[in-house]
Amino acid sequence: MGSTTVTPHRLTDAAQRAVVPPAPRMPGERFPRVTGRYRYDRCSGDWWWSPEMFTLHGLPPDAAQPDTEVCLRYQHADDRGRLLAAMSAACSSGLDFALETRIIRTDGQERDVVLVGECHSADDGSVTTVEGMAIDITECHPPGSATERAHALQAEVGQLHAAMASRACIEQAKGILMLLTSCSDQVAFDLLAHISSHTHRKVRDVAQVITESASGRGQLPDDVRAIVRDACPPPQPLR
């Protein structure tokens, strides 16, 4: 994608040049449910497609990796602009996206897909890669309009991000407790659950205060500190 801009006339010319003979299909033949993965490197402009992504587009799994024009070429003409706008916003502003589009396979079949994109940034905040999934929903449309389905999926992506962040915090807290108490992974989690139960806090909230205390960004609440002290009297005072 280079600068995340593709000139319209180049895209149109490329689409007109792409003449792919349709593959024969049996009457009534259905496509299997396919979910492909992709990654776009903003620095190099290179794309990577998983074998399932190639299959979704009607291409052999060992086909050459695409460039931006090829990616857009398989999009329905009415959807290319929306996809390009979503990718441009992702690269420039770090905005994750989920949108419903249509792809035209090499055999001429039109498929309805949901594209999900997640941004990954460098330490300075600039976006380095965008990666995500393309989910074929042609045979299993969720209820609601395309916009409502995209918004619902965006909410699910947000919930997934929150769950992943919580899991990472819990893993960090378990590591801290394992170092303090010389216990196993399971015992550290059991201790987190014990603290959660006796302080009426969620496990992720307990994990957060432990990690913040260990990094010097906060103090342990008295009730949490008391239980941690009972489990392992620290060689240095806890904050």
Return the number of other C-beta atoms located less than 10 Å from residue 73's C-beta: 21
Q: Is residue 217 helix, strand or coil?
A: coil
The CATH number of whichever domain residue 74 belongs to comes to 3.30.450.20
146 inside domain: no
Q: What is the pTM of this model?
A: 0.52
The amino acid that residue 105 corresponds to is R
- For position 216, what pLDDT does the model report? 83
Co-location of 91 and 182 in the same domain: no
Where a domain ends, among 92, 107, 141?
141
Number of domains comprising the chain: 2
pLDDT of 40 > 90? The answer is: yes
Q: 124 and 172: one domain?
A: no
Higher pLDDT, 138 or 141: 138
Determine the structural domain holding residue 208 and report its residue range. Answer: 163-231
132 plus 170 within the same structural domain: no
Mean pLDDT of 52-80: 94
Output the 3-class SS for 3-53. CCCCCHHHHHHHHHHCCCCCCCCCCCCCCCCCEEEEEEECCCCCEEECHHH
Return d(Cα 199, Cα 221) in angstroms, integer: 10
Same domain, 40 and 132: yes
For 80-138, what is each residue's pLDDT tens digit? 999 999 999 999 999 888 888 999 999 999 999 988 888 988 888 899 999 988 888 88
What does the block give as tokens for 88?
Answer: 């441009």
pLDDT value, residue 100:
87
| Residue 151 within a domain | no
**Is the same domain home to 12 and 104?**
yes
- Does residue 68 belong to any structural domain of this protein? yes
Q: How far is CA 66 from CA 7, 28, 130, in A?
A: 17, 30, 15
For residues 167 and 125, membership in a common domain is answered with no
Domain membership of residue 49 (yes or no) is yes
Residue at which a domain ends, from 80, 108, 141: 141
Q: Do residues 13 and 118 both lie within one domain? A: yes
Report the chain's mean pLDDT, rounded to a whole number: 79
What's the confidence (pLDDT) of residue 69?
A: 92
Residue-wise DSSP of 99-150:
EEEEEE-TTS-EEEEEEEEEEEE-TTS-EEEEEEEEEE-TT-PPSS-HHHHH
Q: Assess if residue 156 is contained within a domain.
A: no
Whether residue 194 is contained in a domain is answered as yes
- The answer to the question of residue 204 being in a domain is yes
Q: What percent of the chain is modeled with pLDDT above 90? A: 30
Least confident of 23-37, 103-117, 209-223: 23-37
Task: Find the mean pLDDT for residues 158-174.
Answer: 74
